[in-house]
């Protein structure tokens, strides 16, 4: 469709062409609470900017309801998206969209992936192997201790721990992970509206060495209806989800259901049979979830090669160097065990794109053949 026609017929367009990320922001702002319609629009128009060039009267022929078309053609929508993009940049946030190769691959696979992720901190952490740890907001001392220990032990072995920054088990998991490695917090509010406020210092610690993310536009308040949507992201990012303590009717059990629907492994920490906070977790175990009393129990449920790499550390063993692909062997040969090589240096010495190189480096890390050191530098491990 000619652009001049769209300018005349679609009141959403009141400015020049947007950047690709801002176009995804506009789609998220228009239909963020209607995920199946976002999926429909992106099926019709992989470049969402093209969708905003469609006049309202043309949408019904493509199977889109008038109420949805009205959102997509709302006056000033693209202007607001451009302003949202500018504010995000000013605040130092990264924006990952479904159009970016850096978008987390596991999350992309779920039925309803968010079309935009606002990120504060290290966006590259989102592409690393991850396990989610969730549970009650009012845990027992036993539950809090188990969450911290599991998260610390997993993070110390290279697994990123995801949770929701809530009080209780979520916060304990983040704290434990920070003692051993990295963690990701997923918000049910805008990235500039940290919730709960009492966890603001923890928010800052996570952002300093991990990542805090949200799919919600800036300024979004932490409404109750947002948290189930947040939970699908927590489970969608991870290879497995661990529930530490949960009552029979609990948001953590919603997360477990999301994980099962997404094909993720579900683990649960066993608890006192007489405790209300153990009914949910003990029920999960009874229904077939893996009993998780240690990090090894969680590792046994992860897919290969992550399972083998982790379990090789159980007794201080060193996993033998696995077979490398031709591309992995080529990059591995450029690394030194003594002198770290910056990713930019490696990029100059190969014919790979940055996304291809980072994928190969991540594969080498998980195979125990390379390690990242501070400053986006890499060394050979074996």
What is the 3-class SS of the chain, one letter each residue? CCHHHHHHHCCCCCCCCCCHHHHHHHHHHHHCCCHHHHHHHHHHCCCHHHHCCCCHHHCHHHCCCHHHHHHHCCCCHHHHHHHHHHHHHHCCCEEEECCCCCCCHHHHCCCCCCCEEEEEECHHHHHCCEEEEECCCCCCHHHHHHHHHHHHHHHCCCCEEEECCCCCHHHHHHHHHHHHCCEEEECCCCCCCCCCHHHHHHHHHHHHHCEEEECCCCCCCCCCCHHHHHHHHHHHHCCEEEECCCCCCCHHHHHHHHHHHCCCEEEECCCCCCCHHHHHHHHHHHCCCEECCCHHHHHCCCCCCHHHHHHCCCCCCCCCCCCCCHHHHHHHCCCCCCCCEEHHHHHHCCCCCHHHHHHHHHHHHHCCCEEEECCCEEEECC
Within 8 A by CB and 6+ apart from 303, the residues are: 239
Instruction: Tell me the Ramachandran region of residue 312: left when phi exceeds 0, alpha when psi lies from -120 to 50, beta otherwise.
Output: alpha
Is 365 part of any domain? yes
**What are 184-212's pLDDT values in tens digits?**
999 999 999 999 999 999 999 999 989 99
Do 10 and 122 reside in the same domain of the chain? no
Is 72 part of any domain? yes
Supply the range of the domain harboring residue 364.
326-380
Q: What is the number of other CB atoms lying within 10 angstroms of the CB of residue 25? A: 30
Do 198 and 332 reside in the same domain of the chain? no
Mean pLDDT of 248-264: 90
**What are 61-82's pLDDT values in tens digits?**
999 999 999 999 999 999 999 9
Is 165 part of any domain? yes
Residue 238 near residue 109 (C-beta atoms within 8 A): no
Do 15 and 61 reside in the same domain of the chain? yes
Positive or negative: CA dihedral 246, 251, 253, 258:
negative
> Can you tell me the distance from the alpha carbon of 341 to that of 344, in angstroms, rounded to the nearest whole number?
8
Phi, psi for 249 (deg, rounded to 5): -115, 100
> Can you tell me the distance from the alpha carbon of 47 to that of 299, in angstroms, rounded to the nearest whole number?
39
Do 166 and 267 reside in the same domain of the chain? yes
Mean pLDDT over the full length of the chain: 88
Mean pLDDT of 366-379: 81
And the tokens for 146? 């188990």
Positive or negative: CA dihedral 49, 50, 56, 60:
negative
Give pLDDT, residue 2. 35
Per-residue pLDDT band for 315 (boundaries 50, 70, 90) equals: low
> Can you tell me the distance from the alpha carbon of 133 to that of 275, in angstroms, rounded to the nearest whole number?
20
Do 307 and 275 reside in the same domain of the chain? yes
- CA–chain centroid gap for 137, Å, is 21
Q: Give the pTM.
A: 0.79
State which of 41, 61, 90 marks the end of a domain: 90
Do 275 and 300 reside in the same domain of the chain? yes
Do 330 and 306 reside in the same domain of the chain? no
Is 96 part of any domain? no
Give pLDDT, residue 3. 35
Which has more pLDDT, 323 or 154?
A: 154
Per-residue pLDDT band for 320 (boundaries 50, 70, 90) equals: very low
Is 196 part of any domain? yes
Do 148 and 293 reside in the same domain of the chain? yes
When mean pLDDT is compared over 49-53, 293-297, 300-304, 362-366, the highest value belongs to 293-297
Closest CA to 367 of 380, 376, 352: 380
State which of 254, 276, 311 marks the end of a domain: 311
379 DSSP β-pair partners: 371
Do 49 and 124 reside in the same domain of the chain? no
Do 130 and 226 reside in the same domain of the chain? yes
Number of domains composing the chain:
3
State which of 311, 342, 359 marks the end of a domain: 311
Is 359 part of any domain? yes
Closest CA to 166 of 204, 195, 203, 131: 195
Is 59 part of any domain? yes
Helix axes 20-31, 77-90, angle to 10 degrees: 120
Residue 136 near residue 277 (C-beta atoms within 8 A): yes
Do 151 and 70 reside in the same domain of the chain? no
Per-residue pLDDT band for 322 (boundaries 50, 70, 90) equals: low
Give pLDDT, residue 376. 85
pLDDT at 327 over 90: no
Angle CA 297–318–325, to nearest 5: 95
Exposed, middle or buried, 177 (CB in 10 Å: 0-12/13-18/19+)?
buried
Per-residue pLDDT band for 382 (boundaries 50, 70, 90) equals: low
Do 303 and 353 reside in the same domain of the chain? no
Out of 3-17, 109-123, 296-310, 338-352, least confident range: 3-17
pLDDT at 5 over 70: no
Is 321 part of any domain? no
The CATH number covering residue 356 comes to: 1.10.10.10
Give pLDDT, residue 15. 45
């Amino acid at each position: 469709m000619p652009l001049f026609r769209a300018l005349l017929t679609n009141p959403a367009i009141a400015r020049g062409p947007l950047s690709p990320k801002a176009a995804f922001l506009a789609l998220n702002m228009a239909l963020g609470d209607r995920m199946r319609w976002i999926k429909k629009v992106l099926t019709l128009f992989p470049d969402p900017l093209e969708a905003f060039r469609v006049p309202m009267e043309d949408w019904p022929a493509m199977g889109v309801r008038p109420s949805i078309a009205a959102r997509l053609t709302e006056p000033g929508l693209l202007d607001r998206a451009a302003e949202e993009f500018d504010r995000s940049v000013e605040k130092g946030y990264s924006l990952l969209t479904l159009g970016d190769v850096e978008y987390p691959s596991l999350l992309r696979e779920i039925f309803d992936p968010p079309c935009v992720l606002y990120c504060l901190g290290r966006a590259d952490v989102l592409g690393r192997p991850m396990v989610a740890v969730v549970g009650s907001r009012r845990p027992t001392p036993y539950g809090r201790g188990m969450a911290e220990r599991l998260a610390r032990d997993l993070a110390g072995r290279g697994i990123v721990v995801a949770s929701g920054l809530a009080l209780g088990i979520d916060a304990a998991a983040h704290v434990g992970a920070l003692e051993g490695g990295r963690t990701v917090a997923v918000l049910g509010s805008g990235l500039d509206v940290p919730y709960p406020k009492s966890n603001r210092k923890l928010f800052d610690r996570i952002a300093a060495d991990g990542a805090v993310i949200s799919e919600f536009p800036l300024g979004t308040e932490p409404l109750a209806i947002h948290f189930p949507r947040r939970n699908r992201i927590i489970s969608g990012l991870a290879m497995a989800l661990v529930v530490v303590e949960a009552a029979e009717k609990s948001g953590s059990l919603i997360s477990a259901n999301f994980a099962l629907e997404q094909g993720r492994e579900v683990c649960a920490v066993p608890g006192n049979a007489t405790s209300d906070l153990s009914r949910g977790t003990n029920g999960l175990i009874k229904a077939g979830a893996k009993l998780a009393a240690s990090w090894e129990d969680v590792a046994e449920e992860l897919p290969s090669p992550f399972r083998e790499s982790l379990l090789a550390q159980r007794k201080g063993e060193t996993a033998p160097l696995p077979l490398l692909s031709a591309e992995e062997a080529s990059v591995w040969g450029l690394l030194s065990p003594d002198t770290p090589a910056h990713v930019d240096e490696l990029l100059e010495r190969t014919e790979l794109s940055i996304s291809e190189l980072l994928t190969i480096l991540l594969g080498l890390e998980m195979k125990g053949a390379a390690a990242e050191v501070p400053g986006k530098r890499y060394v050979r491990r074996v």
